[in-house]
Structure 1
Amino acid sequence: MKLFSSLLILGAVFFADVLAVPSPCPLVGPAFPWPTPSSTNKRLDTARKKLSALLEPIFNAANGSTNSIAVQAFDTFNDSPLFQWSYTADNLDTNLGVSHVDQNSVFRVGSVSKLWAMYLFLAEAGMDTLSDPIVKYVPELQSAVPGDAINSVQWANVTVGELASHLAGVGRDWNPSMTQMGFPVLQPDEVPPCGNPVPCDRTQFFDGLLQRHPTFPISATPAYSNAAFQILGYALEAIKNDTFENLFESQLVGALNLSHTFYATPSPSLGVIPQGQGADFWKMDLGDENPAGGIYSSANDMAALGRAILNNTLTDPLTTRRWMKPHSHTSSLAYSVGAPWEIISFPVPRLIDLYTKSGDIGSYSSILALSPDHGVGFTILVAGTGGHAVVAMVADLVAQTILPALEYIAKDQARVRFAGTYSAPSGGVNSSISIATDFGPGLRVTNWTSNSTDMFQSLATLRGANDTSQITIRLYPTGLETPGNISFRALIPPDLGLTPIGPFTGSCITWVTVDSFIYGGVGLDEFVFALDDNLSATSVSPRVLRIDLQRQYRTSE
């Protein structure tokens, strides 16, 4: 109970911070270039020890834990994990499955299958396909007779992307989900002929689906749908003229060299199988619904998937950036929906978006979470009872320990790479700039002189500020890079002279100010650093001033 009370307190602080105005109001995106964490980093080592100390009392035989778990945090620069932890509960059926859980132990991942399916879809069909009407690829929907808006999905207007982001207004499933329990007796033609334990074939699926009522108008609000991803599986088969299973095995599992990920039920000897109903859930066949929830994988392979997404292994960077964006809000300020991302926002200490997908199927629960701001992610796989709550709790603990450490590692490395004093060559004009890191996000400009003119005073004049104390300048990476050069933009938050009393007076509006002062076609806020072979800055160009300032002084590591 003490742990859950602590989590409730953390949650209260979290939602209070989410509602507060971010200070000093950065843009969405990285505050520093991606960190390159190493196993010997002291901050990361401290975070790992803290996380282990939080997990150990939850998962131990003395507390009667009935959940086996594998946890892994990973980054894009190292094949070895940043953190790994596992626990083997006493209730495993060792006659069927593994007797000891490790990072290669296989779990069912439930609806995280949708993320695997979507990555395969983008790798094979491309981002532009998401704008196509689904009827272009699925003849059963093309020939569907449209009914009225309350009783029939208007399939001719549904796009591939709306199915992928749960915005199509399509029912959740097409299979039996309830027994009679006091409801009216169904007529024979109202009883689904398939579902659990016998999966529906394609004909049965569409015969049933086309009778389902819509949940909402198209693109009105996100409403979760497994059926949508079964349809996407059929669409990819039409686009590639191959079965989804073949494409999954060759273009995803084979392409990423995964050895513990399976489309069909693998040998139980590889699996984490709880006693009781665990064996039934392990072998449950979802048939054509596998793209929505049937995949099997391990912590190591889930981490490999996360690295591949962040490293643009099977998709180009533009596709990845377009994909990792919200498509809709939910009623929670901290939760948005993508395709099929479940996007969680929280402060660590600045506001960060985690792109996640969670899943449940019977005794199995899982999550894959990615932080595009840091080039890192984590996965949690659970087999046991009450797994969804367990995954959510452990995900909170991982995010609240590992991500802040990585944010500080990124800041430490940015200080070494960029902080210091830059000036014009000896004998040139009196121009210099000093850059540091401090308590806040981004690189802090502490002094800036151009041609003997104090640029803070110039900015105060441009901003209509009374004095330079109202001017702060922070540099943030834009993601624009060429060999030997990296681009930053300066944010100079405006002082509106208002005491925040609500969402309008308290909103962060720095995104509106980017590139707002132009001189000779160049933004005053554009900075480019030249880098050496070690990716450390040798000079910086405040490009509006048409000058390269050489790095004269570097901070010590």
Structure 2
Amino acid sequence: MKLYTSLLTLGAACSTVLAAAPSPCPLVGPAYPWPTPASTNSHFLEARKELRTSIKHALKDANQTTNSIALQVFDATDPSPLFQWAYTSDDLDPKLGVRQVTQDTVFRVGSVSKIWAVYLFLVEEGFDPFAQPIANYVPELQAAVSGDAIDTLQWANVTIGELASHLAGVPRDYGILDLSSNAAGMEAMGFPVLPPNEIPPCGSPFFAGLLERHPIVPVSSTPIYSNAAFQILGYALEALTNDTFENVFQNKLLQPLNLKHTFYTTPNSSLGVIPNANGQGANFWNMDLGDEGPAGGIYSSANDMATLGRAILNNTLLDPLATRRWMKPATHTSSIAYGVGTPWEIVSFPSPRLIDLYTKAGDIGTYSTVLALSPDHGVGFVILVAGTGGHAAAAMASDLASQIIIPAVEYIAKYEARKRFAGTYSANNGVNSSITITTDDGPGLKVTNWISNSTDMFKSLASMRGTNDTTTISIRLYPTGLESSGEISFRALIPPNLGLNPIGPFTSSCITWVTVDSQVYGSVGLDEFVFALDSSSNAVSVSPRVLRIVLQKQS
């Protein structure tokens, strides 16, 4: 059976088995420490083979072979790609661009530029300005007069953070792609003749026009995608740094990360892939977005995009706290599996457990891009497409990469966690205290036996719930992300048993996050565990800290 199919089936079977017992219900976040999915790992080799075959077949079946593609899967711990694949379409511009797509070939990344823009803002200024009104930094907005709520956006209420997370209610664009540029054609379709003062002229002042546009929704109500918001974000960064966005981009991102194939303005065409696209490919390659560059103007390659992804996951230019704050949802969408960050598009996968991918997609002309990061695993992928129908090809390849790679690295993480932590730990001082830890079909490390001073802790925990039924007690350990030299912290989740058959969201909700640290003894949580590690990061002992004891690993 194919690897990813096996893993997905295993997850579904596990859910069936656990239906009658308390659900594992893990916290949001990693179930295991980051894996090291080396390209020589047999599980990853199988997944890599499956991904290559699946993408080839899917592109052919969907008639997407007119698209040129560069794809790379990368790991935060290794500068070499975990997997790379490129396809060169025959439908290229006959005079311009490369003849063979590689991992260094330059594509336009469209709205993935927004990730570059926010990353640059955070590297340069941190999070503090995100809570500030944008009008503090952009004089043109300070002069905006409040007016009727339907016709006038309330700029005094808009923060930089709301601009960056699509929560400002700002119109999508001003001037770019306005249908009035084809006035005759629109009039033929029944639209009214516009007076000249209502047609945005080429090169018209951005703010003069934008301030005349109507708001979409009230500030901070629901996410509305906006390119104009990121143009304004670029102006704010220029005001804060007293420099141009392009200079800051070059000096604070491209140079520190040594990116040789990423550009803010159109590079030499010899570096890029330029589709023919009925003779229009060169136009899309050269399309100048002007000051809307922070929203969608950047050019990059698969190798450089992977370097960006690794830098984010590794906290190369941001400290870990800033990265954790950044990689969080800002709002929901109407889809339960799709949230919005700053400006992440957060896609949630339910199997083999709930896993959030922090992604950003972008389209401009004949170019489509997807960048995806899994903070739970320290891996990501980038897909760059050039050609007609590129968005469909990028979305399809992203689905395949997610469905194959994510279960594979979860499997590897569990396998490595079993090697590092599973076994029996006991006291060496004659006291009858021990704990046995393993992994199974569920998430996290599972405690199967726990004795403290000759007392069965499963019976003790059941008794504390007013029952003698130890089958209601399930103990699983999950990494907290807290580590120090030679030690790593875990917390035990012991899902409550409400004794109810789930009939709706209140009786079926995953509420283990409420129960963490809910029972303490002498100011120490019953659920706190700390492993001591050797020089190879393998566990040599574990301390259930509430019991004030260290248990040495025996097997």
Provide TM-score, normalisation by structure 1: 0.93
Residue number among 516, 529, 532 corresponding to 2:531 in the alignment = 529
Counterparts of 1:522 and 1:27, CA distance in 2 = 20
Name the residue aligned to 1:389. Answer: 392
Q: 1:77 corresponds to which letter in structure 2? A: T
Distance 1:61 1:481, change over 3 A: closer
Distance 1:521 1:243, change over 3 A: same
Distance 1:105 1:232, change over 3 A: same
Name the residue aligned to 1:264. Answer: 265
Q: CA deviation at 1:386?
A: 1.1
Q: 2:512 corresponds to which letter in structure 1? A: T
Q: CA deviation at 1:499?
A: 1.1
Name the residue aligned to 1:469. Answer: 471
Name the residue aligned to 1:189. Answer: 197
Name the residue aligned to 2:424. Answer: 421
2:519 maps to 1:520 = no
Q: Give yes or no for contact 2:59–2:393 (8 Å, CA) kept in 1.
A: no
* Cα displacement string for residues 10-48 of structure 1 (whole angstroms, at most 9, x for unaligned residues): 9xx9xx99xx99942100000000001112111100001
2:100 maps to 1:100 = yes
Q: CA deviation at 1:466?
A: 3.8
Q: CA deviation at 1:293?
A: 0.3
Counterparts of 1:177 and 1:502, CA distance in 2 = 46
Q: Write out the 4+ residue segments of structure 1 that deviate beyond 3 Å after TM superposition.
A: 20-23, 58-64
Distance 1:64 1:420, change over 3 A: closer
Q: CA deviation at 1:462?
A: 1.4
Q: Give yes or no for contact 2:435–2:449 (8 Å, CA) kept in 1.
A: yes
SS of equivalent residue, structure 1 residue 393: helix
Moved more, 48-57 or 289-298: 48-57
Counterparts of 2:467 and 2:142, CA distance in 1 = 61
Q: CA deviation at 1:428?
A: 2.8
Name the residue aligned to 2:226. Answer: 225
Counterparts of 2:83 and 2:467, CA distance in 1 = 48
Residue number among 468, 483, 486 corresponding to 2:485 in the alignment = 483
Q: 1:302 corresponds to which letter in structure 2? A: M
SS of equivalent residue, structure 1 residue 282: helix
Q: 2:434 corresponds to which letter in structure 1? A: S
Name the residue aligned to 1:356. Answer: 359
Residue number among 505, 508, 519 corresponding to 1:506 in the alignment = 508
What count of residue pairs does the alignment treat as equivalent?
532
Name the residue aligned to 1:3. Answer: none
Counterparts of 1:531 and 1:64, CA distance in 2 = 50
Q: 2:222 corresponds to which letter in structure 1? A: T
Q: CA deviation at 1:465?
A: 3.5
Q: Give yes or no for contact 1:488–1:527 (8 Å, CA) kept in 2.
A: yes
Describe how 1:3-402 pairs up with structure 2 within 5 A: 23-59=23-59, 65-175=65-175, 176-178=177-179, 179-180=182-183, 181=186, 182-194=190-202, 204-275=205-276, 276-402=279-405
SS of equivalent residue, structure 2 residue 448: strand
Q: CA deviation at 1:61?
A: 11
Counterparts of 2:409 and 2:395, CA distance in 1 = 21
Counterparts of 1:136 and 1:328, CA distance in 2 = 24
Residue number among 527, 547, 552 corresponding to 2:554 in the alignment = 552
Q: 1:420 corresponds to which letter in structure 2? A: G
Moved more, 174-183 or 311-320: 174-183
Which structure 1 residue ranges, 5 or more long, are not aligned? Answer: 1-5
Q: Give yes or no for contact 1:348–1:403 (8 Å, CA) kept in 2.
A: no
Which structure 2 residue ranges, 5 or more long, are not aligned? Answer: none
SS of equivalent residue, structure 1 residue 408: helix
* Cα displacement string for residues 101-148 of structure 1 (whole angstroms, at most 9, x for unaligned residues): 111110000000000000000000101211011011100001111111
SS of equivalent residue, structure 1 residue 208: helix
Q: 2:514 corresponds to which letter in structure 1? A: V
Q: CA deviation at 1:60?
A: 5.7
Q: CA deviation at 1:59?
A: 4.1
Q: CA deviation at 1:504?
A: 1.2
Q: Give yes or no for contact 1:259–1:301 (8 Å, CA) kept in 2.
A: yes
Q: Give yes or no for contact 2:23–2:495 (8 Å, CA) kept in 1.
A: no
SS of equivalent residue, structure 1 residue 69: strand
Q: CA deviation at 1:302?
A: 0.5
Distance 1:57 1:213, change over 3 A: same
SS of equivalent residue, structure 2 residue 371: strand
Q: 1:286 corresponds to which letter in structure 2? A: L
Q: 1:191 corresponds to which letter in structure 2? A: I
* Cα displacement string for residues 149-175 of structure 1 (whole angstroms, at most 9, x for unaligned residues): 111111011000000000001000001
Counterparts of 2:63 and 2:364, CA distance in 1 = 25
Q: CA deviation at 1:53?
A: 1.0
Q: Give yes or no for contact 2:541–2:550 (8 Å, CA) kept in 1.
A: yes
SS of equivalent residue, structure 1 residue 81: strand
Distance 1:517 1:397, change over 3 A: same
Q: 2:386 corresponds to which letter in structure 1? A: A
Moved more, 146-155 or 221-230: 146-155
Counterparts of 2:61 and 2:47, CA distance in 1 = 24
Aligned-pair identity in percent equals 71
Q: Give yes or no for contact 1:59–1:87 (8 Å, CA) kept in 2.
A: no
2:398 maps to 1:403 = no
Provide TM-score, normalisation by structure 2: 0.93
SS of equivalent residue, structure 1 residue 56: helix
Q: CA deviation at 1:62?
A: 12
SS of equivalent residue, structure 2 residue 502: coil
Q: Give yes or no for contact 1:58–1:65 (8 Å, CA) kept in 2.
A: no
Q: Give yes or no for contact 2:459–2:468 (8 Å, CA) kept in 1.
A: no
Distance 1:392 1:64, change over 3 A: closer
Q: CA deviation at 1:83?
A: 1.0
Moved more, 497-506 or 431-440: 497-506
Counterparts of 1:540 and 1:188, CA distance in 2 = 76
Q: RMSD across aligned C-alpha pairs, in angstroms?
A: 1.9
Counterparts of 2:134 and 2:63, CA distance in 1 = 50
